[in-house]
């Protein structure tokens, strides 16, 4: 499965489903390759964990990652997108992962050791020179500061994590993120993120990549964007909001390799692959909403 099933399950689709994208994804939702990041590929799933006679099989979440998918307009506004005939909400997929997730052999195994929650994120960018702070002190293409609209009803975590630790409906895991002080920024690709991809992937897709800076409150209360996620920039039709495809059905990349810091991204469809997952010991679940607009 791919992001198509995730979005359909959580009711994020205008009609009933979408075709998620990977670094090499056909518009029918079938994947040709898998992401090269060291923390697993960018195909979060909601496979049901097999339950045997011993009862539910829980995984122990220890880290969290963030991936944005959506359209971007010339002024930096984030918007929904369409995989004909379905309109999909733009937003952030939050993945909670266990230690086993990072050593998983494939996406199916990763699904046994992770769960997700969706947060819609559309709307205008901060007006330059305003931007979220980032640890590279780089001028971003665009950035966004929000109270994260995370929705526990758009999650598959209930029943997947130990209710004695996380609550009967995983509320102790999910609820702290509702209204969290969240920042998202797009900027030039970084060496740190390039190191997560193979040479072949960079040769093929490197010109279509930008860095996603994610800002959340850390345990000390510091809020600063860090380059945790690679975002791919794909051609789309801004009128129909539909990603463009070649004659083989694959998405067409937009070359952003020479885009200077501080400039706007072209109108495009953006899809992300998390590289860094923040360890829970570096977070304080009681302060995640502090400072949210």
| pLDDT recorded at residue 55 | 36
Q: Write b or e for each residue in 203-233: b if 16 or more Cβ atoms lie within 10 A of its Cβ, otherwise e.
A: eebbebbbbbbbbbbbeeeebebbbbbbbbb
Query: Is residue 261 within a helix (H) or strand (E), and if so which, with residue range?
Result: none
Quick one: tokens of 160? 């997947």
Total number of domains in the chain: 1
Residue 135: is it exposed, middle or buried by C-beta count within 10 angstroms (0-12/13-18/19+)?
Answer: exposed
Positions of the chain with pLDDT under 50: 1-56
Within a domain: 293? no
How far apart CA 42 and CA 166 sit, in angstroms, is 25
pLDDT tens figures, 214-227 = 999 999 999 999 99
Within a domain: 13? yes
| pLDDT recorded at residue 39 | 41
Cα(first)–Cα(last) distance of the chain, in Å? 36
CB distance 254 to 72 below 8 Å: no
Within a domain: 75? yes
Backbone angles phi, psi at 102, to 5 degrees: -75, -15
| pLDDT recorded at residue 189 | 98
How far apart CA 114 and CA 80 sit, in angstroms, is 26
| pLDDT recorded at residue 1 | 30
Query: Is residue 131 within a helix (H) or strand (E), and if so which, with residue range?
Result: none
| pLDDT recorded at residue 58 | 94
| pLDDT recorded at residue 84 | 79
Within a domain: 247? yes
Within a domain: 97? yes
| pLDDT recorded at residue 152 | 97
Quick one: tokens of 17? 């489903």
How far apart CA 24 and CA 251 sit, in angstroms, is 7
| pLDDT recorded at residue 68 | 98
| Domain hosting residue 255, numbered range | 3-48+56-282
Within a domain: 289? no
Within a domain: 288? no
pLDDT tens figures, 224-267 = 999 999 999 999 998 899 999 999 999 999 999 999 999 999 99
Within a domain: 93? yes
Which positions ≥6 away from 270 have C-beta within 8 Å?
68, 69, 70, 71, 72, 186, 231, 232, 233, 234
């Amino acid at each position: 499965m791919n992001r198509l099933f995730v979005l359909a399950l959580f009711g994020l689709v205008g009609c009933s489903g979408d075709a998620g994208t990977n670094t090499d994804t056909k518009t029918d939702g079938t994947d040709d390759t898998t992401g090269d990041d060291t923390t697993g590929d960018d195909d979060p799933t909601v496979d049901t964990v097999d339950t045997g006679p011993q009862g539910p099989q829980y995984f122990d979440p220890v880290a969290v990652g963030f991936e944005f998918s959506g359209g971007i307009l010339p002024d930096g506004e984030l918007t929904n997108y369409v995989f004909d005939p379905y309109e999909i909400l733009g937003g952030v997929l939050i993945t909670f992962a266990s230690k086993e997730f990072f050593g998983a052999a494939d996406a199916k195994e990763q699904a046994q050791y992770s769960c997700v929650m969706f947060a819609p994120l559309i709307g205008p960018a901060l007006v330059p020179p305003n931007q979220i702070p980032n640890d590279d002190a780089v001028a971003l293409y665009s950035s966004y500061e929000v109270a994260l609209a995370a929705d526990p009803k758009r999650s598959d975590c209930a029943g997947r994590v130990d209710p004695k630790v996380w609550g009967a409906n995983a509320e102790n895991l999910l609820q702290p993120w509702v209204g969290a002080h969240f920042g998202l920024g797009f900027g030039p690709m970084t060496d740190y993120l390039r190191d997560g991809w193979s040479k072949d992937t960079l040769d093929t897709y490197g010109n279509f990549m930008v860095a996603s800076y994610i800002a959340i409150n850390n345990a000390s209360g510091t809020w600063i964007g860090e380059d945790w996620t690679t975002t791919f920039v794909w051609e789309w039709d801004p009128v129909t909001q539909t990603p463009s495809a070649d004659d083989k059905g694959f998405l067409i990349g937009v070359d952003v390799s020479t885009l200077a810091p501080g400039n706007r991204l072209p109108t495009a469809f953006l899809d992300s692959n998390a590289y860094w997952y923040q360890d829970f010991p570096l977070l304080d679940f009681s302060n995640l909403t502090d400072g949210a607009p």
